[in-house]
Chain A
């Protein structure tokens, strides 16, 4: 069993990876993971969450709007990322080219992409969401109503105090 695994690994290293041109969507990768397994793929999406540096490499979650995939890349690539997508932040849109693993032997069987080339396509930006006046208005109205009712309950002797 061990020997076969080793043989397969050696073969994989010797045979050039089949290249699949043009970016594929995350759903396409997940649904046809057997087909894409250990092949070179291109993937585009927004960087979200956190860039987690582990030694010389880093985990970068990239979301194409359908799913988020983890990309394992050298720190040198990850350093180019300026904006990480969160609430009120649109992350950098990036392009990666690398080997797709359905169950990566290096990372405990997780589905991931090991990036070999990387590019920031569009820089991210901060999104400021202005204070919503209708919400504020609702709060005021509800506040008045609740306060009034608590007072009514108090005078009727039907209040409850914690």
Chain B
């Protein structure tokens, strides 16, 4: 009986995973069409191969799942395991066009880039990026864009007819905020907001691109791609020099705007777009982000200016501010070469490292601890201090404002502290593995923070020549960090459950 129940669970997991995989495969039509438009025949064929593979895999999964099982309810645990399976298979299939394009040293490198895109990290192992076809660049940035909103969110909004297990899948991707009572509508709201910004952002970057000397067609695609990477706080760019390629203050200012709003909570966007403008100034996440950002920028600016790395105002602003914002929002855009970070003072690097770990808002495209959790921990500290200075019998109630006034409860504190602790532990372990692979602690820690918090700034560790072990570790860490460790815990729980049943 128990054995049979386990079998049903596994079939159900494969059913949902199959749908998500086919959904992801269908999105490859976009880069395929772009490749055709630019007469990149072989690239287009690579995408067709990958699309067919995704549908083949999906249908093999479906073959084993009878209709009556499909109507069964999905539990929280199995929702998360389904997301895990979908991400893993999706990574393999998404890497096929990369690998076939010949711009990656190995299949592992290609898989690394897919994971980096889907988790909106932005570390990359692509080689000779300046000669990459349009189709491949479209796929790199589209992956980031989809990853930012969530693969599940995409599948939910367009594909699923029956959505009995929808919310559980949705939560599996670390988006616990239910903006509307209906999960499918919540998923749609996320996409509507993203598409509104996609339109605004692409037009803005397109116009700026033409002003700074790109041809209209090139400016359009660069604009689209840079916007996708900025909004998703991804950090990919179509050229190997990343944002420095453009040498433009205007482009950088537009990046400031879109990476910052990209790191905002979707619930906040929703409220602001509905006319609740005051929420922006009252929201705890915005206040927390503003505070930590200002403090860290002060640290980095002092580290740059006082120790003589950059001495002029424009250099401190355009290099210092840019990278702190890029780190704090979890984007990973760069306007310097990786190796130049070695010229930065250690004070500036430590400021950047903390900024990377803190990250943007919860239920956004950003990674890291998230401002919501930092704010909750801050309020907990306040509460404890208040408790110490008031009489023992007093009841201390601490409130914070996030969309509405919320009373600080133990479950908030526990959740926030546990996740932050897991981030720190993962970061430390990743840094240690980096040093074990022969990198200096300084570099290993920087890159570990970047991978764990899905940032994408690189000090030069992430190159095609790095040890394969480290590539695998980074893939795992990016994925675990993006799904906020829920998926990892669910996977462990599922294996445990399965073993116990035997």
Binds B, one of A11-19, A92-100, A115-123, A154-162: A154-162
In this assembly, does B53 line the interface, its C-beta being within 8 Å of a C-beta of chain A?
yes
What is the distance, in angstroms, from B36's C-beta to the closest C-beta of chain A? 12
Please tell me if the beta carbons of B59 and A50 are within 8 angstroms of each other in the complex: no
Q: Which residues of B contact A132 (CB under 8 A)?
A: 41-42, 45
- Given B53, B130, B213, B315, which contacts A54 in the complex, CB threshold below 8 Å? B213
Closest to A162 in B: B159
Quick one: which of A136-162 are within 8 Å of B by CB?
136, 138-139, 142-143, 145-146, 149-150, 152-153, 156-160, 162
- Given B60, B130, B213, which contacts A63 in the complex, CB threshold below 8 Å? B130
Q: Which residues of B contact A111 (CB under 8 A)?
A: 244, 336-337, 340
Please tell me if the beta carbons of A146 and B55 are within 8 angstroms of each other in the complex: yes
Please tell me if the beta carbons of B241 and A68 are within 8 angstroms of each other in the complex: yes
User: CA–CA, A5 to B311, complex, Å?
Assistant: 9
In this assembly, does A48 line the interface, its C-beta being within 8 Å of a C-beta of chain B?
yes
Please tell me if the beta carbons of A108 and B63 are within 8 angstroms of each other in the complex: no
What is the distance, in angstroms, from B485's C-beta to the closest C-beta of chain A? 31
Please tell me if the beta carbons of B240 and A159 are within 8 angstroms of each other in the complex: no
Quick one: which of A1-46 are within 8 Å of B by CB?
1, 5, 30-31, 33-34
Q: Which residues of A contact B67 (CB under 8 A)?
A: 157-158
Please tell me if the beta carbons of A136 and B318 are within 8 angstroms of each other in the complex: no
In this assembly, does B212 line the interface, its C-beta being within 8 Å of a C-beta of chain A?
yes
Please tell me if the beta carbons of A68 and B239 are within 8 angstroms of each other in the complex: yes
Digitize A75-90: 1 where CB-to-B-CB distance is under 8 Å, 0 elsewhere: 0000000000111100
- Given A5, A88, A160, which contacts B62 in the complex, CB threshold below 8 Å? A160
What is the distance, in angstroms, from A114's C-beta to the closest C-beta of chain B? 12
Known interface pairs A149-B63, A159-B62; A52-B214 also in contact (CB < 8 Å): yes
Q: Which residues of B contact A30 (CB under 8 A)?
A: 337, 339-340
User: CA–CA, A53 to B212, complex, Å?
Assistant: 7
Give the size of the chain B interface in residues (CB under 8 angstroms).
61
Known interface pairs A52-B246, A70-B245; A135-B100 also in contact (CB < 8 Å): yes
Binds A, one of B131-139, B273-281, B384-392, B411-419: B131-139
In this assembly, does A58 line the interface, its C-beta being within 8 Å of a C-beta of chain B?
yes
Please tell me if the beta carbons of B315 and A142 are within 8 angstroms of each other in the complex: no
In this assembly, does B447 line the interface, its C-beta being within 8 Å of a C-beta of chain A?
no
Q: Which residues of B contact A85 (CB under 8 A)?
A: 130-131
Q: Which residues of B contact A129 (CB under 8 A)?
A: 41-42
What is the distance, in angstroms, from B493's C-beta to the closest C-beta of chain A? 28
In this assembly, does B46 line the interface, its C-beta being within 8 Å of a C-beta of chain A?
yes
Please tell me if the beta carbons of A103 and B241 are within 8 angstroms of each other in the complex: no
Q: Which residues of A contact B40 (CB under 8 A)?
A: 87-88
Please tell me if the beta carbons of B55 and A135 are within 8 angstroms of each other in the complex: no
Please tell me if the beta carbons of A108 and B315 are within 8 angstroms of each other in the complex: yes
Please tell me if the beta carbons of B59 and A146 are within 8 angstroms of each other in the complex: yes
- Given A52, A108, A136, A138, which contacts B213 in the complex, CB threshold below 8 Å? A52
In this assembly, does B247 line the interface, its C-beta being within 8 Å of a C-beta of chain A?
yes
Q: Which residues of B contact A150 (CB under 8 A)?
A: 55, 59
Please tell me if the beta carbons of A53 and B63 are within 8 angstroms of each other in the complex: no
Q: Which residues of A contact B213 (CB under 8 A)?
A: 50-54, 58-59
User: CA–CA, A108 to B335, complex, Å?
Assistant: 10
- Given A109, A112, A135, A145, which contacts B319 in the complex, CB threshold below 8 Å? A109
Please tell me if the beta carbons of B130 and A108 are within 8 angstroms of each other in the complex: no
Please tell me if the beta carbons of A105 and B19 are within 8 angstroms of each other in the complex: no
Known interface pairs A63-B240, A150-B55, A153-B62; A135-B49 also in contact (CB < 8 Å): yes
Please tell me if the beta carbons of A103 and B315 are within 8 angstroms of each other in the complex: yes
What is the distance, in angstroms, from B335's C-beta to the closest C-beta of chain A? 7
Please tell me if the beta carbons of B63 and A156 are within 8 angstroms of each other in the complex: yes
Please tell me if the beta carbons of A110 and B244 are within 8 angstroms of each other in the complex: yes
Q: Which residues of B contact A162 (CB under 8 A)?
A: 158-159, 161
Q: 10 A-B Cβ contacts within 8 A?
A: A50-B218, A54-B212, A102-B343, A109-B314, A110-B244, A111-B340, A149-B60, A150-B59, A160-B58, A162-B158
What 8 A-B pairs are tightest by C-beta distance, nearest first?
A: A109-B315, A52-B213, A108-B318, A48-B130, A142-B52, A87-B133, A135-B45, A149-B59
